[in-house]
Structure 1
Amino acid sequence: MTDTASTCALTQDTALPAPPPARRVERVQVRDGAVSTGERAVPEEVPVALTFNGTTHAVMMASPTDIADFALGFALTEGIVASPAEILSREVIVVDEGIEARMWIAEEKMKHLSARRRALAGPTGCGLCGVESLAEAVKPAALVTADTHFSPATLLDAMAALGPLQSLNHETRAVHAAAYFEPGRGILALAEDVGRHNALDKLVGKAAEAGFDAARGLLLLTSRVSIEMVQKAAVLGVGVIAAVSAPTSLAIRTADAAGITLCAIVRQDGFEIFTHPGRIALPSPERQNHVA
């Protein structure tokens, strides 16, 4: 993903401040039979309306951070635009009811979008609410041809680097993260959100803005891997997904068809590879037998 949004005018309304990403709330704690009172940090969750040419296309519940990136990433992963340059302008407006991410696209693109007649009103991180057919829900992911290879140690080091950078999760212990990692450069972009799909959309937006060639790196996820996560990863263009949780069977089939290496259940002592293991430089059988 190398297109940039240099031609996109981006503004943010300042009439109302954006909500904080976390708030401290009163709670009663019961631990080991003892009762205490105090506060706990919890993540904020707000409705975000994604509009195109003045028409609301989706309303997603999300963390109120990186909304401009979220809007761009959503437009890309939903196939509304093919590159950031196709968004003529973006603006993020904070209103009493939530946040509006207003985008303007060419009229031809808008006519195509209107024909889809999608209007989402989904719960946290909903990735497929409002699709109009079963075929649309399980549409094939874009074919990924990245030929970069990674050692097991690189993959484990990348995942280990993710945790310390999850500032919102450290504060709340209640949000997901998606990150882009390149060997020798480390984690170049990271996004957090109450919804795992939202976090990935935000990351896609960040990567598009920065003009990363995602075929060079890894996608790191703190969540399980479902079909829509694989579909979004294919738009990003990464050849390898590394996730801390397990994939669904449909995600595995989708990753296999898309040419994506799917690594999951990543722990300090290793991980499992479900598709296209050739991108991971595994020890030779002789070396494995020797180690065993």
Structure 2
Amino acid sequence: MSKVTEVGSDGTRRSLVREWVPEVPVALEFNGLSYAVMMATPADLEDFARGFALTEGLAKIPADITDIAVAETDLGWIVRAQLAGLGVDKLTERVRTRVAESSCGLCGIENLEAVNQPLPPVPAHAALAPEAIFAALAKLRDLQPLTGRTGAAHAAAFCSLDGTIMAVREDVGRHNAMDKLVGALAAASANPAHGFILSTARCSYEIVEKAVRAGAARLVTVSLPTSMAVERAKAAGLGLWCLARGDSVLQVSTPEV
């Protein structure tokens, strides 16, 4: 909480007390190796680590991720977890590549190739009813307490096909909110293909890729998509709806089933 002064266009001033959205460094360690440091809101960090591992391809299934431990330090937070399965090779390769990134230009080419790797096809699914989107949007704000207090957090929600919101996660980062939601669904053994994900974020290609890797079949965002997001969604068969408002939504990509 901080005291601030609000200045009006007519020169009037008034004192306010505002709450800021928490943003701190969160280090993710897998199998004792430091993988990434993310700026995030320190809540639901077990979900964050689990979802991050799944959407980044470090884990294929939730059972590959075990022994998640969260610790606060003077400098931020550390989340440690153990990985099994195919993700172990990707983890060690990523650590090796990151160490070499400042020493040659080849890693840039490798990263470009990684961005263009084909996504797995999403499960076959029927198109989403627009009424379900409007129903979820009408309820979402009431389920965003951090946004309500600070006005500066993103949210990702999982909704049933009739628009009932089943789970919500918030974070200062839009990707983090998505990872937290994916982790929460994995912990609950919920199948993302049985509903749709609703994100308050701009629809970048990363949001699309995280949704697809999580096993989702439908994604709705409140903002417009990028060109690459559209391309990746169509290639994977993801049902994509964007610029969702209370009375309209853009149908961008729908399945042909």
Distance 2:140 2:109 in 1: 33
Match of 2:18 among 40, 51, 54: 40
Asked whether the equivalents of residues 132 and 163 of structure 2 are also in contact (C-alpha less than 8 Å), the reply is no
Matched, 1:233 2:197: no
Q: Secondary structure at the match of 1:74?
A: helix
State the alpha-carbon separation in 2 of the partners of residues 112 and 188 from structure 1.
32
Q: Distance in 2 between matches of 1:272 and 1:278?
A: 17
Given the superposition, is the C-alpha separation of residues 277 and 267 from structure 1 closer, same or farther in structure 2, using an over 3 Å criterion? farther
59, 74, 84: which one pairs with 1:96?
Answer: 74
Gaps of at least 5 residues in structure 2 are: 100-107
Aligned partner of 1:26 in structure 2 is 3
Contact 1:70 1:202 in 2 (8 A): yes
Instruction: Say yes or no: does 1:133 pair with 2:94.
Output: no
Deviation at 1:143, TM superposition (A): 1.0
Alignment of structure 1 residues 253-264 onto 2, 5 Å = 253-264=231-242
| Alignment-mate amino acid for residue 223 of structure 1 | A
Instruction: Report the counterpart of residue 180 of structure 2 in structure 1.
Output: 202
Q: Could you report, residue by residue, the CA deviation over 1:103-131 in whole angstroms, capped at 9, with x for unpaired residues?
A: 112387434411223559xxxxxxxxx99
> Aligned pair count?
247
Q: Please point out which of 30, 41, 47 is paired with 1:69.
A: 47
In structure 1, what residue type is equivalent to 2:2?
V
Q: Offset at 1:88?
A: 3.0
Deviates more, 1:172-181 or 1:231-240: 231-240
Partner in structure 1 of residue 137 of structure 2: 159
1:219 to 184, 189, 197: 197
2:160 alignment counterpart? 182
Give the drift of 1:160. 1.6
* Cα distance change of structure 1 residues 277 and 115 upon mapping to structure 2, 3 Å threshold: closer
Partner residue in 2 for 1:170: 148
Question: 1:28 corresponds to which letter in structure 2?
Answer: T
The more displaced of 29-38 and 258-267 is 29-38
Root-mean-square deviation (Å): 2.1
- Scaled by the length of structure 2, what TM-score is found? 0.90
**CA deviation digits over 1:175-213, x for unaligned, max 9?**
100000003581111110000000000000001011112
Q: Is the 8 A contact 2:219 2:240 kept in 1?
A: yes
Tell whether 2:30 aligns with 1:52: yes
The question of whether the paired residues in 1 share the 8 Å contact of 2:60 and 2:85 is answered with no
Separation in structure 1 between the aligned mates of residue 168 and residue 83 of structure 2, nearest angstrom: 27
TM norm structure 1: 0.79
The equivalent position to 1:82 in structure 2, one of 60, 76, 85, is 60
Structure 1, unaligned stretches of length 5 or more?
1-23, 121-129, 280-292
SS of alignment partner, residue 220 of structure 1: strand
The whole-number CA distance in structure 2 between the counterparts of 1:226 and 1:131 is: 21
SS in 2 for 1:270: coil
Contact 2:153 2:172 in 1 (8 A): yes
Q: Contact 2:155 / 2:171 at 8 angstroms: preserved in 1?
A: yes
* Contact 2:121/2:236, CA 8 A, preserved across alignment: yes
Report sequence identity in percent.
40
Displacement of 1:148 in angstroms is 3.5
Question: Equivalents in 1 of 2:62, 2:255: separation in Å?
Answer: 32
Change (3 A) 1:29 1:265: same
Cα displacement string for residues 110-167 of structure 1 (whole angstroms, at most 9, x for unaligned residues): 34411223559xxxxxxxxx99511112333221023144322112111222111111
2-structure distance, mates of 1:268, 1:106: 43
Question: Partner letter of residue 141 of structure 2?
Answer: G
Given that 1:142 and 1:231 are in contact with CA atoms closer than 8 Å, whether structure 2 keeps it comes out as: no
